[in-house]
Amino acid sequence: MDDVSWSDEELKACVEAYVEMQRNERTGQLIVKKQYYKKLVEMFGRSEQAFESRMQNISYVLSLMGRGWMTGLKPAKNIEPLVAARVEQLLEQTSGQKVVPVAAFEIAVREATEQKDLPKPSGNPRPKRRRISVAQLQRDPSVKAWVLQQAAGTCESCEKPAPFQGADGLPYLELHYVQGLADGGADAVSNAVALCPNCHREIHYGANAHAVEAWLYDTVQRLERD
Ligand SMILES: [Zn+2]
Ligand SMILES: [Zn+2]
């Protein structure tokens, strides 16, 4: 990536180009990425390679948001959390959908997960609330990272390996707060488990949700009922 930091105009133009290419890909139209890059080079300088790599960053942000990314643009992780947050915002603006921002948090989680001897986070019994277009409880990425490390790729409910690898190459598990944050639960490892998507859906929507929850309290030693 180029050293000079990217202006908002550049990011905006990249996101717009990406969205247009993606739309064309979805509708089965022929896309020549090089033509898009050439246009961007004319507008902003830099190299075509720099824009290609930026497009791969956009794929990465989309993958963190759980959204589809272009097949020819493999997600690339080398993006600053703040820039990722801005890209996420621009993607949201282009799609006209209001979503809870996740990119900066998920990148922070991944960075913390790679840390050896990540200290056990003390957590926060009352996570801070911040005003955004939609309400989101601010979570500590290290809580999720620590729980994922403990789970080591295995669902803490069904005790089976993560069903697939994420686009980031990590075993795909989701964090679940046994007592929901919105219901006053703590953002703490004593209130969080790593679940496979099936078990996560089940604990939210399944007829046996309460039994699953009771089983988790019995078997996952670090869990504490408040
Ligand atoms: Zn499971
Ligand atoms: Zn959950």
- DSSP-assigned letters across all residues of 112-168: HHTSTTPPPP--BSSPPEE--SS-EE---HHHHHHHHHHHTTB-TTT-PBPSSB-TT
Give the ligand whose atoms come closest to the C-alpha of residue 144.
2
- Report which of residues 89 and 26 the model is more confident about: 89
Place of tokens 């496979």: 196
Place of tokens 């390679």: 49
What are the boundaries of each domain within the chain?
8-95, 124-219
Q: Is the pLDDT of residue 2 over 60?
A: no
**What DSSP letter does each residue of 73-94 carry, written as one string?**
S-------HHHHHHHHHHHHHH
- 114 Cβ contact partners less than 8 Å away, ≥ 6 residues apart: none
Taking the centre of ligand 1 as the mean of its atom positions, its distance from the CA of residue 138, in whole angstroms, is 26
Give the ligand whose atoms come closest to the C-alpha of residue 203.
2
Give the ligand whose atoms come closest to the C-alpha of residue 179.
2
For residue 177, the number of C-alpha atoms closer than 13 Å in the C-beta half-sphere is 19
Q: Is the pLDDT of residue 136 over 80?
A: no
Q: How confident is the model at residue 4 (pLDDT cuts 50, 70, 90)?
A: confident
> Residue 194 has which token pair?
């790593």
pLDDT for the residue 96 = 67
Taking the centre of ligand 2 as the mean of its atom positions, its distance from the CA of residue 176, in whole angstroms, is 4
pLDDT for the residue 205 = 83
Taking the centre of ligand 2 as the mean of its atom positions, its distance from the CA of residue 199, in whole angstroms, is 9
Residue-wise pLDDT tens digits, 20-45: 998 888 788 888 999 999 999 999 99
pLDDT for the residue 34 = 95
Mean pLDDT throughout 140-163? Answer: 97
Q: Crossing angle, helix 103-113 and helix 48-64, to 10 degrees?
A: 90
Q: Is the pLDDT of residue 154 over 90?
A: yes
pLDDT for the residue 149 = 97
> Residue 10 has which token pair?
């550049």
Taking the centre of ligand 2 as the mean of its atom positions, its distance from the CA of residue 177, in whole angstroms, is 6
- How many CB atoms lie under 10 A from the CB of residue 157? 22
pLDDT for the residue 170 = 93
> Which residues are placed with Cβ below 5 angstroms of ligand 1, an ion?
155, 157-158, 196, 199
Taking the centre of ligand 2 as the mean of its atom positions, its distance from the CA of residue 175, in whole angstroms, is 6
Query: pLDDT averaged over the chain?
Result: 90
Residue-wise pLDDT tens digits, 56-74: 999 999 888 877 788 889 9
Taking the centre of ligand 1 as the mean of its atom positions, its distance from the CA of residue 208, in whole angstroms, is 13
SS3 192: strand
Q: How confident is the model at residue 1 (pLDDT cuts 50, 70, 90)?
A: very low
Taking the centre of ligand 1 as the mean of its atom positions, its distance from the CA of residue 160, in whole angstroms, is 6
Cα dihedral: 209, 211, 214, 220 (round 10): -80
Q: Give the Cα separation of 107 and 111 in Å (integer).
A: 6
pLDDT for the residue 156 = 98
What value of ipTM does the predicted structure carry? 0.96
> Residue 198 has which token pair?
């099936």
Q: Is the pLDDT of residue 47 over 90?
A: yes
CATH fold, domain 124-219, is: DNA Binding (I), subunit A (1.10.30)
- Percentage of the chain with pLDDT > 90? 67
